[in-house]
Amino acid sequence: MAGFPITAPDLPRPVTFGQFWADLTFVHWPVRPEAVAHLYPPGTRPDVFDGATYVGLIPFTMRHTAVGTALPLPYFGTFHETNVRLYSVDDAGHRGVVFRSLETARFAVVPVVRATLGVPYMWARMRITRSGDRIRYESVRRWPRRGPRSGVTVRVGADVEPTPLEVWLTARWGAHTRIAGRTWWVPNEHAAWRFQSAEILELDDELVAAAGVEPSGDRLRALFSPGVHARFGRPVRVK
């Protein structure tokens, strides 16, 4: 895709916090842009690839969260998470994601991140287990609305090269969010992903539907990554 940065642009300083995203599985479906446009913050719109946008279901483990570049947060630093996200662009050309929900097993994270970053964290009972080449992600939401759950089991295989669409979906250098009545762009940077095949053995998910998103076509192939270290910069006002 012409002009799309597959490596991270320079991160606006200062670095606000860093994290390691570990053991991720990326699951995606196509979505009609007009069906989800109302879910985006003002000043942003669905980003499209060959006429379609996408919804992602991404379970993983968050590790080693630190303020700035040096101050670790032991209690907040490691927890499981599953996010449902859409793909966004604003008039300045910032391409990123809009989170529709983020399940986390760490209850204390929920009010803090909701208040400071406007991100829709949900408290859930979560478990990630691994046996050989199989990894299982489980989540059941506890708050604010009990019930929506997700279960994904994959068999992790050999390294694979991403397609142009898969690069477009995963080389995302920030998130759009709504804080105190304004839309913001929160930039991030990380190294290039290492991808492995992820054969889906079981997929029973209610989180995408609970986020108000209805896929319009068949699921893409899933991808697994052992992870990357990410850093975040100062938020930029969009609208």
Ordered by start, the domain boundaries in the chain are: 17-237
Report d(CA 143, CA 111) in Å as an integer: 11
Give 14's pLDDT tier (boundaries 50, 70, 90): confident
Q: 80 burial class (0-12, 13-18, 19+ CB within 10 angstroms)? A: buried
Q: Assess whether pLDDT exceeds 60 at residue 94.
A: yes
**Assigned CATH for 17-237:** 2.40.400.10
- Interval 46-67 mean pLDDT: 90
Output the pLDDT for position 48.
97
Instruction: Pick the range with the lowest mean pLDDT from 40-49, 63-72, 124-133.
Output: 63-72
* Six-digit token string for 189: 């940077």
Predicted structure pTM score: 0.92
Q: Would you state the pLDDT for residue 63?
A: 85
Q: Hey, what's the torsion of the CAs at 233, 13, 19, 211, to 10 degrees?
A: 0
**181 or 23, greater pLDDT:** 23
**24-33, 175-184, 194-203: lowest mean pLDDT where?**
175-184
